Amino acid sequence: MIERTFAILKPEVFTDERKDIASFIYKLLDLNRIKIVDIRLIQMTENEVKQFYKEHEGKDFYLPYVKHMSNKDLVVMILEGEDVISKWRELMGSTDPSQARVGTIRYMFGKSTSVNYVHGSSSKEAYEREVKMFFKEI
C-alpha cells in the first residue's frame, strides 16, 4: 500500500565530521523508491521536543535527549512509498546502533542509542500525530 511516514534527520547529521550524510540519505531514499513529499530545515524548541517525545517522559535519558534535540538545525520530511512506514524503519535500523543490522543508517553512522541520526514514525497513528506538529497544512 502506498502510504506516508514522517522522518527526522537529527542534528548530528549536520554536525558530523562526515559532511555528506544528508545527501547520502536522500540518495538512499531515492534508490529505495521512497519519495520526499515535503522537506523543511527547522529547529525545535525544548517544549516542542518534549511534546514530540512525550511517550518517553520520565525515563532517565529523556531530559538530556530533549536538550540534545533542542534549538539545533535538523530536517523534517514527509516520505511516501509502498509500505514506507516499515520500509523507512528498516533502512534506519535498531534504536541502539550496536544492535542495528549491517547496511542500515544507524549501523553506518549511529554513535549511541541517543545519537542515532534518524527518526521514523512507528505506526500510522504515530505518523498522523507527528506530521501535524510540523506540517500544519497536511
At 70, is the secondary structure helix, strand, or coil?
Answer: strand
Task: Give the integer Cα–Cα distance in Å for 90 and 101.
Answer: 9
In 1-138, DSSP assigns E strands to 2-9, 35-42, 74-82, 118-120
The residue within the footprint of ligand ADP, chosen from 119, 127, 131, 134 (CB under 6 A), is 119
* Stretch binding Mg ion (CB under 5 A), from 21-29, 66-74, 100-108, 115-123: 115-123
Q: Is residue 32 involved in binding ligand ADP (CB under 6 A)?
A: no
- Cβ atoms < 10 Å from Cβ of 118: 23
Q: Is residue 113 involved in binding ligand ADP (CB under 6 A)?
A: yes
Spatial contact of 18 and 48, defined as CB atoms under 8 Å apart: no
Q: Is residue 86 involved in binding ligand ADP (CB under 6 A)?
A: no
Q: Is residue 107 involved in binding ligand ADP (CB under 6 A)?
A: no
Q: Which parts of this chain interact with ligand ADP (CB under 6 A)?
A: 56, 61, 65, 95, 113-114, 116, 119, 122
